Structure 1
């Protein structure tokens, strides 16, 4: 872990993060553990040049300033790591995480590298989970299997209609998004998320401003209604809501809580519902947004 000694509080924060990562199977190298009194600190920092290591760069304002101006230990580590980065411009060896950094800047030598945001205090669990996934090589958004080529599987003249009616049209693999869906199509079913964080939402008409949602799809374990909820943090514990019914009727401004067979949770916020001829397109339509937490937890407080 590469960091600047901003304060005793910050040094202890880094120690706490490194400890948690080790508990979760990441073999962290940290100066607090890997140097003793009298140790050659420059030799320790030169380990950053070893391409068998990945580097977590804790990018505080002080860290960024020192890296950009080549000051102190941070500047020395930058000197050590830059040649290997230049040799592998597509690599991901350095993982910047933001901390005490209101402007959200990362050192110039890292270019436009993707970072993880740890600026909240305490940091949100989804940020830690994202970092842990990356360090263990787990894809945050799993790649779907390759499907068949419709132009080889069927007659060319039928391909356009087949593609148009393909259920894959009604899939949004992102873990948070806003969706506009004509619930007359695809039997009212729309899939959100991916892999074990995938949920099939089954919509059915309930009149203007309302929509039925059922637990009929095989990947859904339970559904519950959270009336007058528009943000994840308003939910609290999703497991405390009644999930005894197969059908829930949500009105605009309500939320639906879904639990899938893999024990993941999702919250779906109903923003607009139209029946035929009442909406902007003249079609039955539901507009919803959703959030699927990264961890298997019913606690939405930090989402």
Structure 2
């Protein structure tokens, strides 16, 4: 299947070309696959590009007065060739396949080959005496509803502004839960970890046999629970001891430990490697105020080389 939309227009002026390309860019931003001559690479066959009109789901003629004149009187021009091919395809498609956008064409004149047929049209004409500015949000919405095959009656439709807000929320949530946001390849580092946003409340660092998962949940005002689930064992370091062998003595048999701010935790992964985590700051979840405060833990980690 071809593109969602093929746009046919005349190179009336630099200003007009820029207007049409901006319109195409807006439709692309909304998620449509749009074919326009600006997408043709140097050296490509423009005639071949224009013949793709028959494979497109929809065709839009941007009909200013110059476009209509070229279609009617200049058969060897780009507009003339496109209109010849479009006219050949028109009879074999449903009426909704083609629409005309009128701009700088207040009489809404059509090329002669339409011969009395009245396709759907979008009036983007602008009068200097009018307070309206085109294209406006309402006109662009009518255009994309046609491309998407939605009914023109929008009584039960969701406003485009609301759809954009929803899309923004979905993208922001996707970014928060993206795994790459919650891991680091470094063997030593520091992070601010809002753990409720992370999959499994887990931050991962390292790689290979030096990879560790730091799984936490809220506990007290200055403490968190640290779980052994993504690794093998955890423990709170009760006194400073050098070397991997000394750190291993602090590992416990239980599922969790509860370090406080200022304390350190030792982790052992499935390969027997050790890492030390220093708890720097803790914030509990707070729903009592006007604004929600997300829980977090600031910590520093280091994979112990001698382990």
TM-score class normalised by the smaller sequence: 0.3 to 0.5
Q: TM-score, normalised by structure 2?
A: 0.44
- Structure with bigger gyration radius: 2
